[in-house]
Structure 1
C-alpha cells in the first residue's frame, strides 16, 4: 500500500518542489498509475498542474490519434489486407472537437477534454493545450509536419517551454522527435481520414518524416548525464523536468553519431 493518498494539494506541492513555476509553459507526458493512489484520479492531477502553473501558465499534452492512419502500417495488432479498403472508406474523419486521443493516457485525455482546451488540427499527431498561450501554440500544424518545424512542438521550443515526464521514461519524450526533422531522416507515406472545408469526409495520403523512438531511452540517459534534467518524485512517480530546447539541441548532436541516417 502507498505511504499516503495522493491529492491535488500533495501533487501540487511536489511539482512546485521539483521546480515547476507559475507562468511556465510545459509539455507534459504522464502515467496516472505511476502516482500511487490519487484521490480524484486524472482530474486531481490536471488540477494540480494548473494550480502550479497559474493563470499565466500553459499546459500542453500530446493528443495523438494514431489509429487514424494507413492500415497497412498497423502492427499492434495488424489487420488482414482485405480490411484495408474498408478502413480507408469508413474511418471517421478526425475532428479536433470530438476525436479521442489514443495511447497517451488518462491525464493527457483529460487535458484534451478540459474546459477551454485548444487542440491543433492534425489528423494523426495533434496536441492539446490549456492556458494563456494555448491558442497561439496550437495555431499552426501543417499536415506534412507531424512533429516538425510547422507543428506545436516547434512553437513550444520558440516559447521557451519545459518538458515534464511524470512517471514515464525518455521513450515517451516527444521533444526528441523535433530533432529528427533537423537531421537527415527517412520519409514515408501516411494516410488518414479528414474533414474537408465543406464538412465532408475524405481519405488523404501525404509524406512526412518517419520518426522512430526506439533509441530514445539511450538518448535520454546521455541527456540526463549532462546535468540538464531535474529529477524527483511527484507522489510515487519518478519525474523529470527540463528545458525543451536543450533536449532538442542534445538530440540533434547525438542522433548522427548513434543512428544510421540516410
Structure 2
C-alpha cells in the first residue's frame, strides 16, 4: 500500500457547553472529555457525561431546586490533550480555570472493569479528597452502579497534564479504565469498543458525581474555603505525625509544599469576608503545618550540591513536552534521564535542581500516594540537571548559573544607590523580566523593597486589572501589572483597596489608611491611595520600567483639573465584604 501524506497546519474543533455563573461568569471550573475517538467507552462515554451534567444542572436551576452557581462551569469536548492544551494556551482569559476534572473512559459495565471506579489524584490535594467524598456518597446512595471506589495516584492520560500547578488547574481523573490488576479493559483501542460495554447505571453515577463536584466548586465561597483549608491541614498534619519517623527534612518540606499549594489554590475561591480575619486563619493553619513537621530534622542522604545542581530552573512555557513532538536527540536525552513529564512541574523559580531531586525522591517513594507506605527512593540530582538542560534547549525553562542570578542583598544595595531610604512611602511600578534572573523570583524583589524602606516605610504597588475583570473581588482577582505586584498583594499582611479597575495594594504603617474607601474617594482623587502618596510627599520608583508606567501623573491631571478623567464615570461590579 502506498500512502501519500503531507504535514500542514490544521485545526482541532473545541466544543464548549456553559453553565453560566450568576455572580462572576468570568471565573470558571472545567470538565474535559476528549472527542475524536471512535470508541463507546473511550471516549463517547466522557462526552455523554458532560452533556448529561449540563442538562441535569440547568434543569435543577430552572426548576428552582438549586441556585445558579457563582462561577461558570465549562464543559469541554476536544481532541485528546492537544485540543485542550491549545485552548488553555490561546484563549485569552484573566486567569486559568480555578479547578476541574478529566472525564475519560467512564461508565463501563462492572464486568468489564472488575467493578472499579477510579479517582486519580492531581496537584493541590484538596480536590482529591473532595471528589473522593462526593463519589463515595454517590455510590453509597446508588448501589445499582455496581462500582467500588479506588482512590489512586496521579497518572498522565495525557489530558491530566493540564493539572500544571503554574499554568493549569487542579484536574483529577474519573475513570473505569483499569481492571483490578491495573491492566486496561480488553477492548481498549479496538473496534470492539461498542455500546454494549457501557452501563446505564454506571454512567448515571459518574454524571451525578461529576455534576456535584463541579457545582460545589463553582459555588464555593469563603466559608467553604476555610472549611476545606482546615480539613486539608488536618489531613496533612496527620500524615506528618503518622509518617514522621520515616521522613527526612526533604520529606517534611514535601508535605509543607503540598499544604501551601492547596491553600494557594483555595484562596482563589474566596468570596466576601474580612480579609484580615481570613488571612489570620490561613496563617494559623500554616503554623499548624509547620509545627507538625518541626521535629523532622534528619538530613537527606547523599546530598552534595554542585554548581550544576544549585541552579534554579525557571519555567517559560505551558505544560510539558511530549516525546513524539521533540527532535529525536533531545527526546532520547529526556528519556534517558528517567524523569516523568510532570517532573518539570516541580520547577517554581525558587527550588534548586537538588531540591527538585529531593522532592522527586519522595514523590517516587509514594509520599501522599493513596494507600502507600512511603519510602524515599533516591533520584540523582545529576540526572535531574540533565533533564532540565534538555528542557532548556527546548525552550521550556531557563537555567541560569547561580552566580549570575540577582540576590536579595544585591537588590537592597541597588535600591540604596537609587536613593531608597528607611521610612519612605514608596509606590513601585516594576518589570521582573527587566530586572534579570532574580534568585527567588518576585517574592525576593518584594522582600528587598520592604527591607529597603524599613518598618516605618509604607510600600505601595498598583493592583490594577485595567477593566479585564468583569467582577472585581479584592480577595481573589489577579492584577495585570506583572509578577511582582501580583506576589505583593497576595501576602497575608498586605492591604488591598476596593477600586474595581485600579486597586492599590500596600504594606506598612500607613497601608490601611491609604487603601480605605478607595471606591468612594475616586480613582485618582486626593483621598485615593496614590493621591495620598503624592499629596503627603511620597515617592515613586520605576523598577525595570520607565515612568510611562507612573500613574501618579493622573493625580496631577485631577488637581489641575484637566476634566479629562471622570473618577465616577464607569459602572463596575465589586464583591464587597458581605459577599
| TM-score, normalised via structure 2 length | 0.29
The question of whether the paired residues in 1 share the 8 Å contact of 2:426 and 2:539 is answered with yes
- Cα–Cα, structure 1 residues 14 and 138, in superposed 2: closer, same or farther, change >3 Å? same
The question of whether the paired residues in 1 share the 8 Å contact of 2:496 and 2:506 is answered with yes
- Comparing both chains, which one has the higher relative contact order based on Cα–Cα distances under 8 Å and sequence gaps of 6 or more? 1
Q: How many residues end up aligned between the 2 structures? A: 176
Shift of 1:115: 2.4
Structure holding more helix per residue:
2
Q: Deviations over 1:71-96 (max 9, x none)?
A: xxxxxxxxxxxxxxxxxxxx3x3221
Instruction: Specify the SS of the correspondent of 1:194.
Output: strand
Residues of 2 paired with 1:18 and 1:197: CA distance?
A: 39
Matches within 5 A, 1:140-155: 140-143=517-520, 145-155=522-532
Structure 2: runs of 5+ lacking an equivalent: 1-399
- Cα–Cα, structure 1 residues 140 and 6, in superposed 2: closer, same or farther, change >3 Å? same
Shift of 1:186: 2.9
Matches within 5 A, 1:58-137: 58-68=458-468, 91=470, 93-102=471-480, 104-137=481-514
Shift of 1:155: 1.1
Shift of 1:185: 2.2
Residue aligning to 1:24: 424
Matches within 5 A, 1:163-202: 163-182=540-559, 183-187=561-565, 189-195=569-575, 198-199=578-579
Instruction: Specify the SS of the correspondent of 1:94.
Output: strand
Shift of 1:190: 1.8
Q: Deviations over 1:70-125 (max 9, x none)?
A: xxxxxxxxxxxxxxxxxxxxx3x3221111112x1111111111220001111111
Structure 1: runs of 5+ lacking an equivalent: 70-90, 200-262
Residues of 2 paired with 1:196 and 1:13: CA distance?
A: 40
Shift of 1:198: 4.9
Query: Which structure has the larger Rg?
Result: 2
Residues of 1 paired with 2:562 and 2:451: CA distance?
A: 41
Instruction: Specify the SS of the correspondent of 1:51.
Output: helix
Alignment RMSD:
2.1
Matches within 5 A, 1:215-234: none
Residues of 1 paired with 2:521 and 2:455: CA distance?
A: 33
Residues of 2 paired with 1:170 and 1:61: CA distance?
A: 14
Q: Deviations over 1:168-202 (max 9, x none)?
A: 11210111111111222235642321236753xxx
Residues of 1 paired with 2:545 and 2:479: CA distance?
A: 18
Residues of 2 paired with 1:66 and 1:144: CA distance?
A: 18
Residues of 2 paired with 1:144 and 1:113: CA distance?
A: 23
Residues of 1 paired with 2:565 and 2:406: CA distance?
A: 44
Residues of 1 paired with 2:460 and 2:505: CA distance?
A: 6
The question of whether the paired residues in 1 share the 8 Å contact of 2:558 and 2:565 is answered with no
Instruction: Specify the SS of the correspondent of 1:121.
Output: coil
The question of whether the paired residues in 2 share the 8 Å contact of 1:26 and 1:58 is answered with yes
Residues of 2 paired with 1:143 and 1:68: CA distance?
A: 21
Shift of 1:141: 1.0
Residue aligning to 2:453: 53
Q: Deviations over 1:2-21 (max 9, x none)?
A: 99321111001110121100
- Cα–Cα, structure 1 residues 144 and 159, in superposed 2: closer, same or farther, change >3 Å? closer
Residues of 1 paired with 2:573 and 2:464: CA distance?
A: 14
Residues of 1 paired with 2:511 and 2:467: CA distance?
A: 25
Instruction: Specify the SS of the correspondent of 1:181.
Output: helix
- Cα–Cα, structure 1 residues 53 and 198, in superposed 2: closer, same or farther, change >3 Å? closer
Instruction: Specify the SS of the correspondent of 1:114.
Output: coil
Instruction: Specify the SS of the correspondent of 2:563.
Output: coil
Residue aligning to 1:43: 443
Residue aligning to 2:433: 33
Residues of 2 paired with 1:197 and 1:106: CA distance?
A: 26
